[in-house]
Amino acid sequence: MAKLIDGKAVSAQVKEQVRIETAELMAKHGIQPSLAVVIVGSDPASRVYVNNKKKACEAMGFKSLEYALPEETTQEELVALVKKMNADPEINGILVQLPVPKHINDMAIIKAINPKKDVDAFHPENVGRIAIGEFKFLPCTPAGVMALIDSAGIEVAGKNCVVIGRSNIVGKPMGMLLMHRNGTVTVCHSYTKDLASITRQADILVATVGKPNFVTGDMVKEGAVVIDVGINRLDNGKLCGDVNFAEVEPKASYITPVPGGVGPMTIAMLMRNTLTAAKLQNGIKD
């Protein structure tokens, strides 16, 4: 029987700390952190995520701005909005909700964001900083995974860490963060041969595939720590992770549930990054 890592509880702790530091920043320096969120089109999942981000901002005492743009918005229009926000001292963090409509090149938008306001840490400058370990912001989901691992007192150094998935948003930076902690990291993907033989070596297994119940019991070593980044909506409307919980939970030592695992951590880390951005932009060190 695995111990559950409670993402709701850990995210509540992170957010409470951010809320306290925000109140101090307001009291000492009169600075209210602000996050601008841009959503293009009407993807229902993106709408839910953006609403959750706005609610979290309010709970932190942040100013929250939303730019909801129509599906037909051009890349040039979106870049122009980002540039306007870059120049606005009232905005500390800029987040363009992904995915953007197909006619817009997401990398062109990410590159337009001022790296100091890039609270997703997706800009090439921030990605490079993460690679060399000189970062200001960490991407929210991988940072949330690390916070969950830390909350359970799990040591990464020397462990075999296997990440399934190599996206720019999660898989690649996840591998980098585990390497920074001296894990021995393998990043697997759709071209990986005999995936199960690799995942069975994992002391720490992170699934970020985007396929429901992808990781089955036979892919997991007895006593492994299993982190499920997937949030998949099934036909019956229920949320389901990338890990087959019923099969994997009896073998794992620790496991994150879906919902209530990694999901709540992403927003908590976004709040942390927005506060960090406000401090950095105002030359406040602590």
Residues lying near ligand GUN in the complex (CB under 6 A) are found at 95-98, 120, 140-141, 169, 266
Q: How far is the CB of 76 from ligand GUN (least distance, A)?
A: 20
Q: How far is CA 227 from CA 157, 205, 280, in A?
A: 17, 6, 31
In the bound state, the residue with its beta carbon closest to ligand GUN is: 98
Q: Is residue 97 annotated as part of the catalytic site, yes or no?
A: yes
Q: Is residue 53 annotated as part of the catalytic site, yes or no?
A: yes
Beta-carbon contacts of residue 97 (< 8 Å; ≥ 6 apart) = 37, 38, 39, 40, 46, 49, 50
Q: Scanning the structure block, which residue is given the tokens 């006619």?
A: 103
Catalytic residue among 116, 117, 118, 120: 120
96/202 with CB nearer ligand GUN: 96
Tell me: cis bond preceding 257? Omega within 30 of 0 counts: no
156/231 with CB nearer ligand GUN: 231
Catalytic residue among 53, 116, 159, 172: 53
Q: How far is the CB of 166 from ligand GUN (least distance, A)?
A: 15
Largest pairwise CA distance in the chain: 57
48/284 with CB nearer ligand GUN: 48
118/249 with CB nearer ligand GUN: 118
Rounded Cα distance, 125 and 72, in Å? 29
Give 64-119 as a DSSP string.
EEEEEE-TT--HHHHHHHHHHHHT-TT--EEEEPSPPPTTS-HHHHHHHS-GGGBT
Beta-carbon contacts of residue 153 (< 8 Å; ≥ 6 apart) = none
Q: How far is the CB of 267 from ligand GUN (least distance, A)?
A: 9
Pairing verdict, β 160-164 and 204-207: parallel
230/249 with CB nearer ligand GUN: 230
Q: What is the dihedral of CA 142, 85, 126, 192, to 10 degrees?
A: 50
Q: How far is the CB of 96 from ligand GUN (least distance, A)?
A: 6
Q: How far is the CB of 32 from ligand GUN (least distance, A)?
A: 22
Beta-carbon contacts of residue 133 (< 8 Å; ≥ 6 apart) = 180
Q: Is residue 218 annotated as part of the catalytic site, yes or no?
A: no
Q: Which residues are catalytic?
A: 53, 97, 120
